[in-house]
Structure 1
């Protein structure tokens, strides 16, 4: 039996105008042994600068941000969803924001189309955290999971936080919609989601790493292929400028600023010491690169 989504897709294809060149949303590709990793653009966000930069030493912050040719009053970070294929599993790390968050985002399906990957192909969805730009692309227009064949995985602490009925009352007025939206979506998959803790191998070659602070249960994922590995860092490293150059500064985008700052510093130390590549949700050039020491902090180096 055809699902409602398949029916609409078939009708839409039949009524479509002559095909225009597809916009290539795929960002960049990384190979680890037999594992292929692609980053797919979900578009970008449009944020007031204070949402990320507020509370930092303003003069020093402006000098750093200016080095990257960016303004401080408005930021437009990219959104990179990670796709991993190992010949057995086809795994998405986060699902983008869908149509209900910002008009500049929610483009993941265009990116998947560019690679010839369908929503039915996805075997697993692993969530770094439940903020709108990472979770709200979970459901289709009928409030059914957009990825019908996928198993959903999320950190136990993250799931518990967003499903707690008190979260909407304690998260703060600016993030109330985050809490309402997360709970509504997670309720839909509550009976089919697998929860995990720090250090668990959640799938062959994928280990969960606690990176709390941006949200109470934020997780990164270490992907191993052969003798190589890479870390999907989500929003633990939320930008390529102040987060790297001054990781000890609290960011307005983090729910627990001091904890997130400690996490950033420890994560960057680990990535540099291990010479491990990283994949960042809001980093430029598709988000794949590595960190290196620079002056008193670090710098992000995009994958060539």
Structure 2
């Protein structure tokens, strides 16, 4: 069964009942990097299933085909992985984003199994920090009965992102295709109101964690630099949304971004920063666990996953 861009953007109403899982994916080796006495771990929430034109529908076909062939990408649908970030330290366990939960796509929402593999339960999480409020990053804060999952955690989100998704006008201005995103975000954010701390780009939100404003994918999208001395990992969210076209042609607008031109500007700036400052990247939709390094390769970039 084929699905189109409109169905994907419609969220649960367009895809919740579709059998999109396909064959089960093999389990990935544990991907982590030591940060002083702590550890940054990539956690799988499964994967999305998207129509090919979701991000690439308006791009130059000939050049796009060459890029995708270089990475062995073919077919009429994409299955991007969903990689959450876990920071384990002696006095806190920080989860960046909460995954899809049970209500978005049947191929996603696998976070509970990933936490269990780490010997953790949701009650062990001390902080949940959001890059943005799209379904695959936010909807996992509620269970099947619409009860909050991370009972002991402080929630943290950028002030601009919170303001955008809690504004009653957003559902009428975001466009019909994304209206269900606005409804779903507002309902879930209301469920955690009173437990949420806010920040802006440039703030140190927790010791050793700096927020970077990376707007475009959403108006208040944030990335987070986790640093210990000379070692750093950037939690990139969806600012760099795939491991092929976003790197080969970061200047191209992406249909997955709410503001495609601003998203491209942000992407180029972030890629330059990762290379110049030698910062590792943990990207939400990047391959092989999403943890690795970005390097320049002539006129474009490439991502090399690392089992660090």
Give the alignment's TM-score, normalised by structure 1. Answer: 0.90
Instruction: Please state whether the residue corresponding to 1:177 is helix, strand or coil.
Output: helix
Partner of 1:18: none
Answering whether residue 174 of structure 2 is matched by residue 151 of structure 1, we say no
The more displaced of 214-223 and 57-66 is 57-66
The answer to whether the aligner puts 1:179 opposite 2:173 as a matched pair is no
SS of the residue aligned with 1:39? strand
Question: Which residue pairs with 2:243 in the alignment?
Answer: 240
Give the aligned partner of residue 80 of structure 1. 83
Matches within 5 A, 1:46-85: 46-71=49-74, 73-85=76-88
Spell out structure 1 runs of 4+ moving beyond 6 A: none
1:168 alignment partner, SS class: helix
How many pairs are equivalent?
Answer: 282
> SS of the residue aligned with 1:254?
coil
- In 2, Cα distance between equivalents of 1:195 and 1:71: 41
- Mark the CA change 1:26 to 1:112 in structure 2 (over 3 Å): closer, same or farther: farther
Which residue is 2:258 aligned to?
A: 255
Q: Is 1:292 the counterpart of 2:295 in the alignment? A: yes
Q: Structure 2: which 5+ runs fail to align?
A: 1-25
Aligned-residue offset at 1:39: 0.7
Distance in structure 2 (CA, Å) of the matches to 1:61 and 1:27: 32
Counterpart contact for 2:159–2:199, Cα < 8 Å: yes
Q: Would you say the 8 A contact 2:41–2:87 is kept in 1? A: yes
Identify which of 272, 278, 281 aligns with 1:278.
281
Residue number among 126, 141, 151 corresponding to 2:129 in the alignment? 126
Q: Deviations over 1:212-232 (max 9, x none)?
A: 000000000000123311100
1:195 aligns with 2:198: yes
CA shift digits 1:139-198 (9 cap, x unpaired): 122322100000000000000000011111111121111111000000111111011001
The reply to whether residue 269 of structure 1 matches residue 272 of structure 2 is: yes
Shift of 1:69: 1.1
CA apart distance, 1:26: 6.6
| Alignment correspondent of 2:116 | 113
- Give ranges in structure 1 of 5+ residues lacking alignment: 1-22
User: Alignment RMSD, CA only?
Assistant: 1.2
Distance 1:234 1:28, change over 3 A: same
SS at match of 2:31: strand
Which of residues 44, 47, 66 is equivalent to 1:44?
47
Q: Provide the rounded CA distance (Å) in 1 between the counterparts of 2:189 and 2:34.
A: 32
How much does 1:63 deviate? 1.1
Q: State the distance in 2 between where 1:67 and 1:180 align.
A: 39
**Partner SS for 1:292:** strand
More deviation, 249-258/139-148: 139-148
Q: Work out which of the residue numbers 197, 200, 214 in structure 2 matches 1:211.
A: 214
Q: Is the 8 A contact 1:25 1:40 kept in 2?
A: no
Deviation track 1:244-285 (CA, whole Å, cap 9, x = no partner) reads: 110000001000000000000000000000111010000011
* Larger-gyration structure (1/2): 1
Contact map agreement 1:42 1:105 (CA 8 A) in 2: yes
Contact 2:102/2:143 (8 A) holds in 1: no
Q: Distance in 2 between matches of 1:72 and 1:197?
A: 40
TM-score by length of 2: 0.89
Q: How much has 1:25 moved relative to structure 2?
A: 6.4
